Structure 1
Amino acid sequence: MSSAPGSSVKILTVGSAAGSIRDLFAKVKAIDAKHGKFDLVLCTGDFFGPPKVGEEYGEEDEVIQLLEGKLEAPVECYIMQGEHPLPSPVIEKFAKSGGALNTNVFLLHKSGVMTTAHGLRIACLGGVYEPNMFSAAQTVHGFVSPYFTNQTVEKVISNTMTQSAPSTKPKDTSYGSLASIMSTTSTSHLLDILLTNALPAGITHLSNAPLPATDFPTNLEAEPVAELVLRTKPRYHFAVGANPSKQGHVPLYWEREPFLWDNENGRFTRFVSLGAFGGEAAPSSGKKQRWFYAFSISPLSPNDPAPPRPTNATGNPLAQRGVHRGIKRPIDDEGENFRWGNVKQGAKKAKAGGPEGKPPEGYKCKICESTEHFITDCPDRAKPNEGYVCKICNEPGHFVRDCPTKHQVGDTGGRKPREGYVCRACGSELHYIQDCPSASAQPRGPRARPKEIAPDECWFCLSNPRLAKHLIVAIGTECYVTLPKGQIIPTHTKDNFPQGKIPSVPGGGHVLIVPITHYPTYASIPSDLSGPIVGETKTVPFYQYEVNADSPCMFSYKSALHAFYGKHGAHPVSFEVGRLSAKGGHAHIQVIPVPSSVSAETIANAFTSEGTRLGVEFEVEEADAGREDVTGDRGYFRVELPDGRKLVHWLKDGVPFSIQFGRQVLVGLLGMPERFDWKECTQSDEDDRADAQAFKDAFKPFDPSL
């Protein structure tokens, strides 16, 4: 039976079940019988384990048995997303039920906040932290992605201002009304319990508690989680700290001393990292990791006295970190409630500052300098200053908001673009790319040759004066070859990677093959124009030519690179991210040399295993399939292996895909994970020029353009 509101609540928190659902429920039942009764169970980390890829769940799978109610939890359980994407049947059930997976098991949203029937406020930030994905993603990642993003963290902050609870009932039709919003609005960001998969950066600072491993939690700290803790000041924070190993991440138990919050009526936070249920022993002690934590907690009210200070309390390890990226709305600018009442406002909102609505003393309208009215009431507000030119029609005399051409339509019915705009999908000047039939999911009609876009917009167009032309190593009739900025292969810093599998190709060898004419992807090139471009790019099967400098391959750049790499004990892996988006892009294929000792099968397994972990599914094309181009109107990621086989992943609408996926796999395969971020691998122009020259000199006998 649940505790009454305001009374003490008894909670059991458990570590990652990793798919052992039946065994976990049995253990929870035994603990509850011996130490209970517990009001609820919080399941941290990976409840389901890695999802199946390319294979369906059967009736015998515990996931299906849970969803069908054949596996019953002995106590009300709340689960979260850990380091893996969630199984597709779970996501489908979540979408239909709003969180209830069965009678007693509820899935918390990746950025979820709920208020229990006892009055406790519990928040969850699911997923893992990857800096590039965190800062680059423009949308909140769902359960099919293992990552959380900047927007995910912001959503948690926003959701802390609402009060909600999981429900098995249909959605309330009054949701979104003024009355329902006001009735579910909280007055504080403060939380009772926070669940995260990642650990907050700096959590071990000021602590004397023995660590379970020497490098705990160095490789798993997340600055955004520290920022979230700073904003919400949870009374309990549970996470899944792990020790990197050859077998993956082994969750480790570590309980920190409580740490204090200044000016919060004696508030303090208890932080606990839990080991996995049935997990491995700790590397330092050899003992099984503690995987559960039981405690009692009572909801707090503003009038409650300050709690007694724990005798082992420390200073706050996060207090000096400050709030950095990812949280845009400063909490200090809010009053009691960010939606209703007591909201502190800046001077621009203080229209009622003077008598009868007049400006306060000293105020001057910025348009006419009058002291009698606000700028919003200025009679001259409709007149632009002398010299102002409308950015839409390039005419003076009116603001953009009043432009007579503002609502003109283009040739496809959408808004007409501004002067100089060129659709990157078809080259038209008469519609935006989001209104382009060629970039939609509809069948494509005939298209004209794409026109050149503004030269200062595309980093791959040769007409761009800011293009790094000193990196170009070959120019053909339809394509050119260039070294990238921050290539994967280290050239001047090889000694920094003693364990790396570094090929000995002069200049590094990591290159891009880029069509000279601007197209978003290879698949978007019109069929009547694609022949020469694809022909100059594609690979002739490796068994059709000899790897011999005296008899160079003259078929295409890919084939020439295959022969060139072969002379230096390497073979190529190439990939393309074919993404059609409103931002456009310039088609290019990346080609990276890998030591010949690393087989094509090993490379294929690296891509498929990492894909399995991230929910990226591949289709396989054999070397003699006769397809060089990917057809269709959807986005894709395509890898070509040294033996000619190709792996294709079709991008799905609304499902995020990292454009750095190919690089992520290869730096891991080559034993140089530090080379993941290309920005961290950039070097001086002098070193770049030296690499380009070394590559050109060595590639000259193989260059099909010479």
Structure 2
Amino acid sequence: MASSQSSPVKILTVGAAVGSIRDIFNKVKAINAKHGKFDILLFSGDFFGPPKEAAEYSDDDEVIQLLSGSLQSPIECFIMQGEHPLPPPVIEKFAATGGALAQNLFLLQKSGLVTTAHGLRIACLGGIFDENLYSVAESPHGFTSPYFTSHTVEKLISNSMSQSTPSSGKGTSYTSLAQIKASASPNEFVDILISNTFPNNITAHSTASCPSPSFPGEGAEPVAELVRRTKPRYHFVAGRGGQKIPMFWEREPYTWDKDNGRITRFVSLGAFGGPPDPTAGKKQRWFYAFSIAPQAPNTPAPATPPNATANPLVQLGFHRGMKRPFDQGETEAENFRWGKVNPTGKRNRIVGQEGKPPPGYKCKICESSEHFINDCPDRAKPKEGYVCRICNEAGHFVRDCPTKNQVGDTGGRKPKEGYVCRACGSEAHYLQDCPSATQPQHSRRAKGPPKEIAPDECWFCLSNPKLAKHLIVSIGNECYVTLPKGQIIPTHTQADYPDGSVPSVPGGGHVLIVPITHYPTYASIPTDLSEPILEETRKYEAALGAFYSAHNAQSVSFEVGRISAKGGHAHIQVIPIPRSLSPDAIANAFISEGSRLGIDLDYEDISTALHTGDRGYFKVSLPDGRHLIHWLRDGVPFGIQFGRQVIVSLLGIPDRFDWKQCVQSEDEDRADVQAFKAAFSSFEPNL
């Protein structure tokens, strides 16, 4: 092993194959014959492309041929998850083998780390980033989800302190990857990081020409933090980064001054199987060949490349006109194909007086000669059509959202959309900030099941003294009906929505039907107790439908049945919708928005679909009696405001999405209750 530590390892890194498996293997064979032989082949981005249903994979499908061994990689290689869920047959094979999909082919975990027999540490972060979903999940997402979470990143950082090696200990075979052994590692550093998502701010301090003025779009701060912790010597990204297609871009090397002059080289790769660049009319460069020697703890610091820049991921406090000089030495790793050359082919930045650009320089964004591209004021502006995912407003990026760091109702940080406090059911504070929680402060890594809520702590139980009883409009034998806080329908501010399609139902008409007895979901009610509760719920739904009809409206209802919340109280939200909207239009709105968010909704027979209470679900009841159901999956977040999100869009009142922004005074609530009760009294069911 000692000799291999000093020998350079030749690596070929390839962008997204997007399912063109046989074709890319043939290309790799040709490259290997002409420029190899390579020791390792790394695939970044989507190797398989969009998945299909398991039954759609026939014997002549390239995925099945790969898994069966009839289609083989020419070089021992590692692949990762890109922006799509992995195909079901691949996940099944991974579960059985721990990573070895076929001879010479190994799938890295979503947050994977391996140490090769050559001594190289290769880390992988698969999936895509969503600001709203990142901190919501209770566990890391698996391959069935396209997203990574805070747990995914924490797991990778934790694993970077350990070292995994193929148990064979030989450089010619990785057939026992499933039996990788762990041993102590002196630090978190890795040699190579492959990710599908860009780190935030990666283009800062760089003069390397970008393939697009908007490249790479908005990066992810969690990826930047991962880079800061692991300090990879090479970082490859194959995701689109806000572009229509993955694009090639090689950044100048940047340094880590406090870590023995460690150097990071960043490369964005185009896709092999993707479409050509519509502006250039040709495909982006999709492969990158290099050589890298393993480093021991006592390896001398590498010479700083002449074109190195300040680090874009740390605050160095440097002045552009007073940048420290870099040593004029050799590059850290010699490129096996071109030798010791400037890999970007770009000249080093020449700074003019007082940090201004030299004569003849023009900013590629606004064509000004007064500033560098990284200082362009237009660079901080989102492109046309961009909408912040936190507040749904245009004009700023997520990182600049004024609501990003809002304070919750108990003084702590405000949770992201979809979070529910497990102690009291509130969406306005985290568990550790909850005044009802009896346990000590919990960290995100806390173990054990969440605390189950007692009825006197539940926001929907009549025994809770904090229940907003002044909003209740009807009480039956098994259920009660209440107006919600911050209902969707505006009642005292109708004039603020001249373009909305808001029905004129007295008191607004948006209500909750809530079983009096505490159950997490309707489906979890024991069979021997459920019939009277379900019957009364159906009577209320029918009465509300007739009530709405008298005001030229129809009812749409939905239920979020979350089993994992350990303390939710079953309830159904019923909202009036104009009769001018057809049931098909309403269904298509839910299906379309769900598809955009990775939420699959199917028509199902409600009498057979919810036969068991051990599955989480989201259910929509349409005006014509049909039902749409989405089954919640473990490890995949679901925003509990999804139903409200679709309804406000249908009604043309997107400002009513956040219920907390729609909360009224108690006097206004009481006026709505009186108006609703007076109009609903003749429709109230005979219980």
TM-score by length of 1: 0.66
Segment drifting more, 195-204 vs 285-294? 285-294
**DSSP-derived class of the 1:23 partner:** helix
Take 2:300 and 2:91, find their aligned partners in 1: how far apart are those partners?
A: 43
Residue 259 of structure 2 is matched in structure 1 by 264
- Deviation for aligned residue 1:68: 0.2
Distance 1:586 1:289, change over 3 A: same
Q: Secondary structure at the match of 2:542?
A: coil
Deviations 1:607-646 (A, max 9, x none): 5677778886665335xx7x39822232131232343222
Structure 2 residue aligned with 1:641: 622
SS in 2 for 1:25: helix
More deviation, 304-313/229-238: 304-313
Instruction: Give yes or no for contact 2:503–2:578 (8 Å, CA) kept in 1.
Output: no
Cα deviation 1:243-276 (Å, max 9, x = unaligned) = 658xxx5323333332221211221212222222
Residue of structure 1 equivalent to 2:305: 310
Per the alignment, do residues 162 and 697 of structure 1 end up closer, same or farther by CA in structure 2, a change over 3 Å counting? Answer: same
After TM superposition, the structure 1 = structure 2 runs for residues 9-88 of structure 1, keeping only pairs within 5 Å, are 9-53=9-53, 55-88=55-88
Deviations 1:501-538 (A, max 9, x none): 95424688765433233211112224454344323433
What residue in structure 2 maps to residue 577 of structure 1?
560
SS of the counterpart of 1:55?
helix
Q: 1:278 is matched by which residue type in structure 2?
A: G
* Separation in structure 2 between the aligned mates of residue 531 and residue 201 of structure 1, nearest angstrom: 54
Does 1:300 pair with 2:300?
no
Q: CA deviation at 1:122?
A: 0.5
The alignment partner of 1:112 has SS state of: strand
How far residue 99 of structure 1 moved from its aligned partner, in angstroms, is: 0.7
- Name the structure 1 match of 2:275: 280
The answer as to whether partners of 1:44 and 1:80 remain within 8 angstroms in 2 is yes
**How far apart, in 1, do the equivalents of 2:109 and 2:670 lie?**
49
- In the other structure, the counterpart of 1:479 is 480
Residue 661 of structure 2 is aligned to residue 683 of structure 1: yes
Aligned residues: 542
Question: Is 1:586 paired with 2:569?
Answer: yes
CA gap of 1:463–1:289, structure 2 versus 1, over 3 A, is farther
1:537 equivalenced with 2:537 (yes/no): yes
Tell me the distance in 2 between the aligned counterparts of 1:645 and 1:520: 23
Q: Is the 8 A contact 1:675 1:681 kept in 2?
A: no
Distance in 1 (CA, whole Å) between partners of 2:671 and 2:248 is 53
Identity across the alignment (%): 53
1:367-386 to 2 correspondences below 5 Å: none
Residue deviations 1:476-509 (CA, integer Å, cap 9, x gap): 422223335585999979999x9xx954246887
Q: Check 1:519–1:165 CA distance in 2 against 1; reply closer, same or farther (3 A cut).
A: same
Alignment partners' CA distance in 2, 1:489 and 1:71:
61
Code of the residue aligned with 2:313 in structure 1: it is L
Q: Aligned-pair distance for 1:120?
A: 1.0
For 2:559 and 2:677, how far apart are their aligned partners in 1?
22
CA deviation vs aligned residue, 1:106-130 (integer Å, no higher than 9, x gap) = 1001111001122111101112222
Is 2:583 aligned against 1:632? no
Kindly state the Cα deviation for residue 592 of structure 1 after the two structures are TM-superposed. Answer: 5.4
**Residues 655/226 of structure 1: CA separation in 2 closer, same or farther (3 Å cut):** closer
CA contact (8 A) 1:84 1:613 kept: no
1:567 aligns with 2:552: yes
1:519/1:315 CA distance change after superposition, 3 Å? same
Distance in 2 (alpha carbons) for counterparts of 1:18 and 1:35: 24
Return the alpha-carbon distance in structure 1 between the equivalents of residues 126 and 648 of structure 2. Answer: 24
Task: Give per-residue Cα distances to partners, 1:365-386, cap 9 Å, x unaligned.
Answer: xxxxxxxxxxxxxxxxxxxxxx
> 487-496 or 96-105: which moved more?
487-496
- Structure 1: give runs of 5+ residues left out of the alignment: 323-419, 422-432, 440-451, 541-553
User: Are the structure 2 counterparts of residues 310 and 655 from structure 1 closer, same or farther at C-alpha, using a change threshold of 3 Å?
Assistant: same
Does the CA-based 8 Å contact 1:115-1:164 persist in structure 2? yes
Q: CA deviation at 1:454?
A: 4.3
Alignment of 1:388-467 (within 5 A): 453-455=454-456, 457-467=457-467
Cα deviation, residue 595, structure 1: 6.9
CA distance in 2, matches of 1:70, 1:490: 66
Q: Is the contact made by 1:111 and 1:152 (CA closer than 8 Å) also made in structure 2? A: yes
- Match of 2:247? 252
TM-score w.r.t. length of structure 2: 0.68
- Cα distance, 1:171–1:659 mapped onto 2, change above 3 Å: same
Q: Distance in 2 between matches of 1:27 and 1:495?
A: 60
Write out per-residue CA displacement over residues 295-315 of structure 1, whole angstroms, 9 at most, x where no aligned residue: 222212233332232333222
Letter in 1 for 2:238: V
Name which of 646, 671, 676 aligns with 1:666.
646
Q: Deviations along 1:111-150, whole A, 9 cap, x unmatched?
A: 1100112211110111222234321222222212222222
Aligned-partner Cα distance in 1 for 2:232–2:100: 25
**Cα shift readout 1:336-355 (whole Å, capped 9, x = no counterpart):** xxxxxxxxxxxxxxxxxxxx
* Partner Cα separation in structure 2 for residue 614 and residue 22 of structure 1: 31
